[in-house]
């Protein structure tokens, strides 16, 4: 997958029911412009995915699952599989810090979900990031390495092309305490260094790496202007249509500067 486009992903988390989500998408569609250099992805609650898939203009937005189970079928009450989401969503979040820390998902779960996504033609967005205590103890580098190894263990260099890595420091998510852009740039360089070590230069440099953690329309450009960052994962601010559209415009402006 080429890195010639910015990727802006809105994670609605457990907000908006089916009807609200549909109304909100309608509103979003009016304010978010389609730009050739920007892919805009929406991750609604699983309940709304089907409805939104019938409503969405896939030229304007792609859809992502916030979560899914790694088995394709079977006796797994309450779960939704990547094979059931196939053809409806183009992306799937994997290893989001809320999955890891609230639902105790392990690297083993993450690895299996990355595989399930790839097997079903869904691009996994593998979320990795250090906790506040790892940061305080200067362990960011190791935490990123462990989570990359943990999530990508069975991924080949050909498959790596479809994977997106989201650098999301746990302490920055939903806290209003966003990371300093230069620190993000450093972490992204570290991620690429690890990917090079695991997959070689060519495969590593083709991977889209994005940042997430309390980004707003006011801070978005500071990240998007960093050369190694290919986009943003937006939680809270994606629930404000005007703010989300403004972030998409910032991504477009950055792409224009590059061209």
The reply to whether 218 belongs to the active site is no
Stretch that binds ligand PEP, among 71-79, 180-188, 231-239, 244-252 (CB under 6 A): 231-239
* Residue 215 sits in the site that holds ligand PEP (CB under 6 A): yes
Using a 10 angstrom Cβ sphere, with 0-12 exposed, 13-18 middle and 19 or more buried, the burial of residue 73 is: exposed
Comparing CB distances to ligand PEP, the nearer of 44 and 213 is: 213
Residue 168 CB, nearest distance to ligand PEP (Å)? 5
Closest by CA to 212, choosing from 4, 7, 69, 5, is 7
Residue whose token pair is 């033609």: 121
Distance CA 103, CA 80 (A): 16
Residue 98 CB, nearest distance to ligand PEP (Å)? 7
* Residue 105 sits in the site that holds ligand PEP (CB under 6 A): no
- The number of angstroms, rounded, from the C-alpha of 98 to the middle of its chain's C-alpha atoms is 13
Distance CA 41, CA 90 (A): 9
Residue 54 CB, nearest distance to ligand PEP (Å)? 25
Angle at alpha carbon of residue 256, lines to 189 and 176, rounded to 5°: 55
* Residue 236 sits in the site that holds ligand PEP (CB under 6 A): yes
The reply to whether 168 belongs to the active site is yes
Per-residue interface string for the shown chain with ligand PEP, residues 4-43, x marking contact by CB under 6 A: -------x--------------------------------
Ranked by CB distance to ligand PEP, the top (closest) residue is 235
Distance CA 230, CA 224 (A): 7
Distance CA 140, CA 221 (A): 24
DSSP class per residue in 47-97: HHHHHHHHH--TTT-EEEES--BSSSSSS-TT--BHHHHBTTBSEEEES-H
Given 98, 105, 168, 217, the catalytic residue: 168
Per-residue interface string for the shown chain with ligand PEP, residues 59-98, x marking contact by CB under 6 A: -------------------------------------x--
State which of residues 95, 124, 213, 231 lies at the interface with ligand PEP (CB under 6 A). Answer: 213
User: 150-179: which residues touch ligand PEP (CB under 6 A)?
Assistant: 168, 173-174
Q: What residues are labeled active site? A: 96, 168
Interface residues with ligand PEP (CB under 6 A) are 11, 96, 168, 173-174, 212-215, 233-237
């Amino acid at each position: 997958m080429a890195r010639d486009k910015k990727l802006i992903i809105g994670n609605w988390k457990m907000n908006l029911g089916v009807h609200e989500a549909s109304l909100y998408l309608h509103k979003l569609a009016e304010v978010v412009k389609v730009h050739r250099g920007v892919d805009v992805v929406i991750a609604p609650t699983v309940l709304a995915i089907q409805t939104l898939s019938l409503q969405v203009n896939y030229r304007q937005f792609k859809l992502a699952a916030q979560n899914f189970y790694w088995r394709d079928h079977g006796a797994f009450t309450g779960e939704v599989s990547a094979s059931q989401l196939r053809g409806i969503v183009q992306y799937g979040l994997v290893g989001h810090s809320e999955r890891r820390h609230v639902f105790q998902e392990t690297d083993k779960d993450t690895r299996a979900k990355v595989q399930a996504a790839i097997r079903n033609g869904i691009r996994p967005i593998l979320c990795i990031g250090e906790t506040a205590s790892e940061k305080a103890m200067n362990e960011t580098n190791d935490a990123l390495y462990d989570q990359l190894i943990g999530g990508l263990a069975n991924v080949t260099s050909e498959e790596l092309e479809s994977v997106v890595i989201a650098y999301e420091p746990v302490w920055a998510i939903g806290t209003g305490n966003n990371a300093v852009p230069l620190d993000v740039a450093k972490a992204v360089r570290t991620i690429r260094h690890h990917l090079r070590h695991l997959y070689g230069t060519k495969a590593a440099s083709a991977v889209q790496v994005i940042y997430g953690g309390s980004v707003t329309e006011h801070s978005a450009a500071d990240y998007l202007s960093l050369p190694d960052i290919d986009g943003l994962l937006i939680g809270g601010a994606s629930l404000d249509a005007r703010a989300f559209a403004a972030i998409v415009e910032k991504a477009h402006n950055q792409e224009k500067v590059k061209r």
